[in-house]
Chains A and B, each alone.
Chain A
Amino acid sequence: MDIVIEGMTKTYGIQKAVDDISFKVKTGEVLGFLGPNGAGKTTTMKAITSFLIPDKGKIFIGNIPVLENPLEAKKHIGYLPENNPLYEDMPVIDYLRFCAEIENVPKDKIDDKIRSVIKTCGITKEKHKKIGELSKGYKQRVGLAQALIHDPEILILDEPTTGLDPNQIVEIRELIRNVGKEKTVILSSHILAEVEATCDRILIINKGKIVADGTVEDLRKQAQGSEILKVTVEDGDINDIFTALQSLDTVETVDFIDKSTQTFEVKSKTGQSSRKAVFKLCVEKGWTLTQLSFVETRLEDVFRELTVNN
């Protein structure tokens, strides 16, 4: 099932949380929803799950209009809200049973379903504990388990890895990757590495507007106007090397990265490459070139560029 949002606007008081955004998520796609705090990620997700009613715009889940028919739309959605609210005084297994019943899982399949999500989410040992007694990572897994209990076609995950330790983050990511193979997933985060590792497509939102939309590669290319090289040269005087690099035709700027190892960052002019020139220069001067590599624009830079300047 795909998700279509058309011209959605939501205002809190005088502040526009989401300002006329439109996008589409295709079936089977894992969409990463990025943006600084307060950009409108959570608002958008709440609107898709029909918890919030937008002022303007349309939302479709498959062919179901969410605003007109929320009950039908909700059946196809598994939702993990921000901060993962759960009934803390219920044992895990009872809670999952409650969720299965309320999601209309047929009676004879409830036990199987519970068993399978407990296995997928890795909470077998914790299933009889009260939710309130679990650590944050396990609570998060219970949150995911309840979202998966009715095998929904759409998963909406609002910051699924906040507060987890690095091992747990890797495990949850893998889990999302696995379930994301057959489902349409929207996942919000402000951890860029996470989005990079789990998502097919990225949507960056800032101040209620979409500022970028594409795969990780697309976004990199978009931000990376000019080639940046990392150059290490042994022998020779550091200042000589600096001036020599600076004087190359194709080079725009040169920066020191590490003076002790004589490593430089060389930024070429837009659309030009300095690799050959750097190599030839070293040969000419008899310097030993020990490193000549591309610096990839990191997603962090793309993110900062898009969300700070605007």
Chain B
Amino acid sequence: MKEILTIAKRELRAYFDSLMAYILIVLFLGFSGFFTWIYGSDIFFIKQASLEVFFNIAFWTLFFFIPALTMRLLSEENRAGTLELLLTKPVTDWQVIAGKFTAALALITITLALTFPYFITVSSLGNIDTGAVFSGYLALILISAMYISIGIFASSITNNQIVAYLTALTIGIFFQVIFQMLASAFPGTLGNIFDYLSVYSHYDSMIRGVIDSRDLVYFLSVTFLALVSAETMLLKKRYV
């Protein structure tokens, strides 16, 4: 556990030292702020004291930003050779993966925490459903965890950051959109399976304030599966 935190701390510092963290925070707040408060069917338009509009925008902003955050985590270390040095320290492959995952998730959590004023503003405008806000944020964090782990997996299969970014987006787009489309195209059991695989169906119920164990299991198992795949890729390098 201590090793995971040590690695996470270093990665988090690297995010802030390389300005990556600031760019992410500014862009995320800029995008979500603009579309939540100023442009289009914004938060005033729906005449309800709810953060649903913000959640729907964050749902997409995170989808595009997270791969940018995770693309260098393993690919860059592998290219520069520092991965060799890290893996010959007394840590397991899993601890390295988990450390990097924790750092990225911490950065996303910090970013999301900075939107807390949105909640204060909206709750001063009307009677807000605090439970729905809580489960909405939880949904965003779970989605982030899932896309971070997919991003780490994508980063583990290549030495090239751009390839890692695009691979993560390609895998992500299935969960984000394609499974949803397939679900409506196929009837019956097959449709249900695709519906279960789609992020949107789980996310949708959560931003309305319903926390179902089925949704938690979904997010956590995809996250875990992607992280284990990344670990397997690291192990594979040792057998070359």
A71 near B17 (CB under 8 angstroms)? no
Interface range for A: 20 to 34
Contacts of A94 in B (CB 8 A): 13
- Cβ of A99 within 8 Å of any chain B Cβ, yes or no, is yes
Contact of B90 (CB < 8 Å), options: A12, A53, A75? A75
With the chains together, A223 CA to B82 CA distance in Å? 40
B240 near A89 (CB under 8 angstroms)? no
Contact of A53 (CB < 8 Å), options: B6, B18, B92, B238? B238
Contact of B7 (CB < 8 Å), options: A72, A77, A102? A102
- Cβ of A233 within 8 Å of any chain B Cβ, yes or no, is no
A71 near B82 (CB under 8 angstroms)? no
- Cβ of A271 within 8 Å of any chain B Cβ, yes or no, is no
Contacts of A85 in B (CB 8 A): 80-82, 84-85
A103 near B90 (CB under 8 angstroms)? yes
Tell me, rounded to whole Å, the shortest Cβ–Cβ distance linking B16 to chain A: 11
- Cβ of A51 within 8 Å of any chain B Cβ, yes or no, is yes
By CB atoms of chain B within 10 A, which of A46, A49, A85, A103 has the most?
A85
- Cβ of B114 within 8 Å of any chain A Cβ, yes or no, is no
Contacts of A52 in B (CB 8 A): 238, 240
B88 near A79 (CB under 8 angstroms)? yes
With the chains together, A72 CA to B239 CA distance in Å? 20
Contacts of A72 in B (CB 8 A): 90
Tell me, rounded to whole Å, the shortest Cβ–Cβ distance linking B102 to chain A: 14
B82 near A102 (CB under 8 angstroms)? no
In the complex where A85-B81, A87-B82, A89-B17 touch, is A102 in contact with B88 (Cβ < 8 A)? Answer: no
- Cβ of B3 within 8 Å of any chain A Cβ, yes or no, is yes
By CB atoms of chain A within 10 A, which of B3, B17, B81, B85 has the most?
B85
- Cβ of B47 within 8 Å of any chain A Cβ, yes or no, is no
Whose C-beta in chain A lies nearest to the C-beta of B92? A71
Chain B 78-124 residues near chain A, CB threshold 8 A? 80-82, 84-85, 87-92
Give 1 or 0 for each of A79-103: 1 = CB within 8 Å of chain B CB.
1010101111110001000110111
Given contacts A74-B90, A85-B82, A90-B14, 4 further A-B contacts (CB under 8 A): A50-B88, A51-B84, A86-B82, A98-B10
B: residues with CB less than 8 A from A are 2-3, 6-7, 10, 13-14, 17-18, 80-82, 84-85, 87-92, 238-240
Q: List 24 A-B contacts (CB under 8 A).
A: A12-B240, A46-B84, A51-B88, A51-B238, A53-B238, A53-B239, A71-B90, A72-B90, A74-B88, A74-B89, A75-B90, A81-B81, A85-B85, A87-B10, A87-B82, A89-B18, A90-B13, A90-B14, A98-B10, A101-B6, A102-B89, A102-B90, A102-B91, A104-B2
A: residues with CB less than 8 A from B are 12, 46, 49-53, 71-72, 74-75, 77, 79, 81, 83, 85-90, 94, 98-99, 101-104, 146
